[in-house]
Amino acid sequence: MSTETVADDGTAFGIDVERVALYGTLVGLIVFYLLPIETGLMTSLKVGPYSSAPFLPTLEASTTENYARAFDALSSGLVNSFILTIPATVLSALVGSMAAYGLTNVDWKGQVGVLALFIAGIFIPYQAVLIPVSNFWASIVPLNVWFGPIAEITPGLEGYHFDIFELVITHVAYGLPICTLLFRTFYKDLSDEMMEAARLDGASIAKVYRRIVLPLSGPMFAVVLIYQFTQIWNDLLFALVIVGTGEKEMLVMVALARLGNTLSDVGVGLQMAGALLTALPTLLVYVFFGEQFAEGIST
């Protein structure tokens, strides 16, 4: 762009140069972010995945057979993942909220040290604790061995459900530091005088939590629920180690990792279909809770 054609107010040929550049950048970013998904979508609908360039739609007929096959392969994994993720998410949000309340709104000796420990917990990588945790569940507290007999007499309840329960506890424990931190930033802003008023009105510390703090935590719950749902649903490492690769019990991420890998070829279309299918629940959670998420983030 030659300088002579740019007028004083930034326009050139009557077009606002800055605006064009802004929108151009935005469109470029959108394309950059959405290209993998769009490619996956295109690939999953093609009969022959290499028949045209990855991001272009097929020139031949398109098929939904990949989705049907992916759904068959992933359905039990999806069910298992829901059994894992929903309780684990709700539980870790609740426990995080209670921990944050106790550390932020109640005064007691030594709470700064305890809080520091919680914060330090955020930085522990899952890989570092993988072996101890798996040993713990395999040898020290093998829940499905202990409760196996109950599973046999209860209809609908299987032994591997206890493995999933072990994973729920693990995720609640390892998600606790970040949940606590998120709630703490929210609870710090609650009015001290309001809680003192509740104490004077006769409410015990637990009652103040139940009747005052918890009802006011809505926006932050949305944030924590979305965050934890995504983390727990997408986790592969703990799912692989604690629940394993058994046909009935494996979680959807494990199932997805194995999808389409036969000895003869890598079914790329099938894998794409599976990936999109697996991403759907998280996407729906964002859609439903997204507005409250944005509200909660801004507090």
Q: How far is the CB of 178 from another protein (least distance, A)?
A: 26
Binding mask 143-182 for another protein (x = CB under 8 A): ----------------------------------------
Among candidates 96, 236, 117, 297, which has minimal Cα distance to 178?
Answer: 96
Task: Give me the helices (H) in the chain, please.
Answer: 17-45, 65-104, 111-122, 126-135, 143-146, 148-153, 159-187, 192-200, 205-208, 214-216, 218-234, 237-238, 252-258, 268-297
Phi, psi for residue 268 in degrees, rounded to 5: -65, -40
- Tell me, by CB under 8 A, how many residues bind another protein: 17
DSSP class of residue 147?
S
Q: What is the DSSP string of 182-244?
A: HHHHHHTTS-HHHHHHHHHTT--HHHHIIIIIHHHTHHHHHHHHHHHHHHHHH--HHIIIII-
CB 205, min distance to another protein, A: 10
Task: Sort 52 into a burial class: Cβ within 10 Å, 0-12 / 13-18 / 19+.
Answer: middle
Residue closer to another protein, measured from CB, 85 or 104: 104
Q: Report the nearest approach of another protein to the CB of residue 56 (Å).
A: 53
Site for another protein in 183-212 (CB under 8 A): 191, 193-194, 196-204, 207, 211-212
CB of 211 to another protein, least distance (A): 7
H/E stretch holding 257: helix 252-258
CB of 292 to another protein, least distance (A): 15
Query: Rule CB under 8 A: is residue 292 a binding residue for another protein?
Result: no
CA–CA gap between residue 246 and residue 183 (Å, rounded): 37
Q: Which is nearer to another protein, 47 or 216 (CB)?
A: 216
CB of 221 to another protein, least distance (A): 14
**Taking the complex as a whole, how short is the minimal distance between the CB of residue 202 and another protein, in angstroms?**
3
- Helix (H) or strand (E) holding 7, with range, is none
| Closer by beta carbon to another protein, 119 or else 190 | 190
Site string for another protein, 207-246 (x = CB under 8 A): x---xx--xx------------------------------
Nearer to another protein, 40 or 296 (CB): 296
**Cα radius of gyration (the chain):** 25
| Nearer to another protein (CB atom), residue 200 or residue 287 | 200
Task: List residues near another protein by CB under 8 A.
Answer: 191, 193-194, 196-204, 207, 211-212, 215-216
